[in-house]
């Protein structure tokens, strides 16, 4: 789990200054460890394949070019679902130097990703808290959590619930709900007030209902069991009694009318547009939007983790590195690896990760952290990340269990659940059957 990295958040974050004030503080003078791989001094163009809609990667590449003017980026972007479908073909036929990885197991065992162990030794990544790299290791059998390192994270992402403070005040919500029953009550109050409780993306190739479903799974059960399934541990199953209760709870929100009527046609950008425009009280999303929301809705956004069933119960959340890998056939692997190390160790890069990404950067436990305004939603997501770390409640995304489980398992069945064409038991059984087909179980 991510305890080692996340538990330092409250100690390293020093509230008191605004994001704008911190931008001039970090030292941006580039440094290159003696003898470590680098980008050299000759012109280099790094081919990159990134996820669309998330500005942090672009801001990092722009800053990197400022510090290393000989390096430019040729960047292509696609939605997460498209990345999932395209990853094997792109890595084989048009290998990028850097790629946002939707999943890793099959890509690693198929020889499409570069083994990064030598870079971990050269740059000292193996001296970081081991939990930071755990999710990006793949053994010879394709199981994650152990074995060679095949990726690096730009930061730790985490999901939870964002809410519009002004709309929440209209329904009597002045603080985060302590239990699922309290959250249910606020959702009903929003509907009764004529507001849209949740405008959640779930349309096209995107199964956005996976966000609230996995959060509910952590409320009803043990996050470690979810991680075992994602890591393809022997005998692991998603079709458990506690997960059934979570799926039934999600279905109760559907039948109660808490989601926007056109939820099955909403894509991610539409969800964000509606929330920013004040057309939705809640959304289930990740801290990568914290910086954007602090800019677009300053002072008007709150964040909380999905509450437990019983007050005082434990929390769980998707909390994983924002994963990037290097193609096994990359033209510039040394420069790509140097970029990944720079992201985790350069002060300006770490500032971007916090202020734009809203998340804790990778890197040494005692590495630089910028000051964060305590009145921002970024500060709230960082504190929530610390809570997840302390409770050992971090999980990877259930969409990352196999290469196709998101497209062939979760997305169609979650859309059918919304449309009333699938029930909770059928949802879990169908996903587990697809999972076993893909892993050969």
In whole angstroms, what is the distance from residue 287 CA to residue 293 CA?
A: 10
DSSP for residue 161: E
Q: Is the pLDDT of residue 145 over 80?
A: yes
Q: What is the mean pLDDT of residues 386-414?
A: 88
My answer on whether 185 and 298 are in the same domain is yes
My answer on whether 326 and 434 are in the same domain is no
Asked if the structure places residue 145 within a domain, the reply is yes
Residues across the chain: 441
* Ramachandran assignment for 113, one of left (phi > 0), alpha (psi -120 to 50 degrees), beta (any other): beta
| 271-293 residue pLDDT tens | 999 999 999 999 999 998 998 99
DSSP for residue 307: P
Enter the tokens of residue 284. 């289930």
Asked if the structure places residue 84 within a domain, the reply is yes
My answer on whether 213 and 328 are in the same domain is no
φ/ψ of residue 319, rounded to 5: -150, 105
The per-residue pLDDT for 256 is: 98
The residue among 345, 376, 407 that closes a domain is: 376
Q: Which domain holds residue 111?
A: 19-27+37-156+320-376
The per-residue pLDDT for 5 is: 28
My answer on whether 127 and 250 are in the same domain is no
Q: Which residue has the higher pLDDT, 433 or 8?
A: 433
The per-residue pLDDT for 441 is: 61
Torsion over CA: 75, 81, 87, 93 (sign): negative
The mean pLDDT of the chain is: 88
The structural domain count of the chain equals 2
My answer on whether 110 and 217 are in the same domain is no
Checking DSSP bridges between strand 98-100 and strand 44-51, what pairing results, if any? parallel
My answer on whether 229 and 117 are in the same domain is no
The per-residue pLDDT for 53 is: 78
In whole angstroms, what is the distance from residue 383 CA to residue 8 CA?
A: 10
What percent of the chain has pLDDT above 70?
Answer: 92
Q: What is the mean pLDDT of residues 308-323?
A: 90
My answer on whether 298 and 263 are in the same domain is yes
- pTM listed for this prediction: 0.79
My answer on whether 272 and 408 are in the same domain is yes
Whether the Cβ atoms of residue 83 and residue 49 lie closer than 8 Å to each other? yes
Closest CA to 300 of 358, 376, 354, 371: 376
Residue with tokens 């004529």: 194
My answer on whether 90 and 112 are in the same domain is yes
The CATH number of the domain where 229 resides is what?
3.40.190.10
Residue with tokens 């498209």: 82
Q: Is the pLDDT of residue 164 over 90?
A: yes
Q: Is the pLDDT of residue 33 over 60?
A: no
Asked if the structure places residue 387 within a domain, the reply is no
Which band of pLDDT confidence, cut at 50, 70 and 90, is reported for residue 157?
Answer: confident
The per-residue pLDDT for 411 is: 94
Enter the tokens of residue 270. 């539409």
Asked if the structure places residue 208 within a domain, the reply is yes
Asked if the structure places residue 1 within a domain, the reply is no
Asked if the structure places residue 96 within a domain, the reply is yes
My answer on whether 216 and 311 are in the same domain is yes
My answer on whether 233 and 345 are in the same domain is no
CB atoms within 10 A of CB 4: 15
Q: Which residue has the higher pLDDT, 315 or 91?
A: 91
Q: What is the mean pLDDT of residues 227-255?
A: 95
My answer on whether 165 and 149 are in the same domain is no
Asked if the structure places residue 3 within a domain, the reply is no
């Amino acid at each position: 789990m991510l305890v080692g990295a996340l538990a330092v958040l409250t100690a390293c974050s020093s509230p008191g200054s605004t994001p704008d004030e911190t931008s001039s503080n970090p030292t941006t003078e580039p440094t290159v460890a003696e003898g470590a791989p680098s980008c050299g001094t000759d012109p280099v163009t790094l081919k990159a394949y990134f996820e669309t809609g998330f500005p942090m990667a672009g801001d990092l590449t722009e800053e990197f070019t400022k510090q290393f003017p000989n390096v430019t980026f040729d960047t292509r972007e696609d939605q997460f679902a498209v990345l999932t479908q395209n990853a094997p073909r792109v890595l084989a036929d048009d290998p990028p130097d850097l790629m946002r990885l939707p999943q890793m197991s099959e890509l690693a065992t198929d020889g499409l990703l570069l083994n990064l162990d030598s870079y971990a030794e050269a740059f000292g990544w193996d001296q970081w808290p081991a939990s930071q790299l755990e999710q990006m290791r793949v053994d010879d059998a394709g199981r994650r959590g152990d074995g060679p390192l095949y990726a690096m994270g730009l930061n730790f992402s985490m999901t939870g619930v964002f809410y519009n403070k002004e709309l929440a005040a209209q329904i009597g919500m002045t603080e985060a709900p302590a239990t699922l029953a309290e959250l249910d009550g606020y959702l009903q109050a929003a509907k009764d007030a004529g507001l849209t409780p949740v405008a959640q993306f779930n349309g096209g190739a995107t199964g956005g209902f996976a966000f609230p479903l996995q959060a509910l799974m952590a409320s009803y059960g043990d996050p470690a069991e979810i991680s075992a399934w994602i890591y393809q541990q022997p005998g692991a199953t998603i079709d458990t009694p506690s997960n059934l209760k979570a799926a039934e709870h999600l279905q109760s929100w559907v039948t109660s009318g808490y989601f926007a009527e056109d939820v099955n046609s909403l894509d991610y950008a539409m969800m964000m547009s509606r929330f920013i425009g004040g057309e939705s009280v809640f959304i289930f999303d990740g801290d990568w939007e914290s910086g954007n929301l602090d800019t677009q809705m300053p002072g008007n956004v709150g964040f909380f983790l999905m509450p437990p069933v019983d007050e005082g119960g434990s929390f769980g959340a998707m909390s994983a590195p924002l994963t990037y890998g290097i193609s096994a056939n990359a033209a510039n692997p040394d420069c790509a690896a140097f970029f990944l190390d720079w992201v985790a160790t350069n002060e300006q890069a770490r500032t971007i990760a916090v202020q734009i990404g809203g998340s804790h950067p990778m890197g040494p436990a005692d590495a630089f952290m910028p000051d964060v305004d305590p009145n921002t939603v970024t500060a709230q997501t960082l504190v929530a990340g610390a809570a997840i770390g302390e409770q050992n409640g971090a999980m990877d995304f259930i969409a990352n269990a196999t290469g196709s489980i998101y497209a062939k398992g979760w997305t169609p069945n979650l859309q059918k659940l919304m449309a009333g064409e699938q029930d909770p038991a059928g949802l879990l059984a169908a996903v587990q059957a697809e999972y076993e087909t893909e892993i050969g179980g």
